[in-house]
Amino acid sequence: MADIRLIEIKEDILSDNKNLADEIRAMLQRHHVFLLNLMASPGGGKTSLIVQTIRELKDVFRIGVIEGDIDSVVDAEIVSREGVPAVQLKTGGFCHLDASMIDMALKEMELSNLDLIMIENIGNLVCPAEFDTGAMKNVMILSVPEGDDKPLKYPLMFSICDVLLVNKIDYLSVADFDMNVLKERVFNLNPKIKIFEVSCKTGEGIHAWVRWLSDEMNACVKNILINNEPL
């Protein structure tokens, strides 16, 4: 019987992706640019959350956006109307963004004119959780209409994120959604995660989310300065 050679393709792909993601993080830190990766299901409210965040922070930070979609430029057009630069990545079928895609997008942006770049990842709770984009923080949105059982169905996504934004809380009064049950399930997977309850429709909770993001950005810059990393 002939010898069989096993090649772990996924393992190699993820390893190469992680190495490039680390290079992206180091490069952005040298430029004092904070990269945020935002993930959610389709319709979870990613674009709306980005727009709300831009409106809260555009007088304080210089913001850019990387939009990921299998097709179309709809979300990039919405974001650009807020007066911020946007790069649209059309994946042509890929269900996630990875470090190589983000690297291409960053080459189209003037990093010296930016403080914050937000990535709107592909609408998917599976594949995006597996690929490091080079972001400093990973954030996911779960909308109330999706239900409180999603941590049971997509544990990896909840495990790798630094923040969970529970969006569309204006639906709580008419939804079969138990916030306490959700939080228990999420904290069992990820005890360190921060959870913010928000409504992009009413604006409720947005200030708390934006305050957290601002604090993280300032802490990142302070850490770079302490370590005397050159620009």
164-210: pLDDT as tens digits: 999 999 999 999 999 999 999 999 999 999 999 999 999 999 999 99
Tokens representing 61 are: 């930070």
CA distance 214 to 146: 28
Q: How far apart are the first and last CA of the chain?
A: 58
pTM, rounded to two decimals: 0.90
Interval 54-80 mean pLDDT: 90
Supply 208's token pair. Answer: 């708390």
Q: Is the pLDDT of residue 229 over 60?
A: no
Give me the domains of the chain, ranges plus CATH numbers. 26-225 (3.40.50.300)
> Taking Cα atoms as reference points, which of 24, 38, 36, 41 lies closest to residue 213?
36
Query: Taking residues 101-111, what's their average pLDDT?
Result: 95
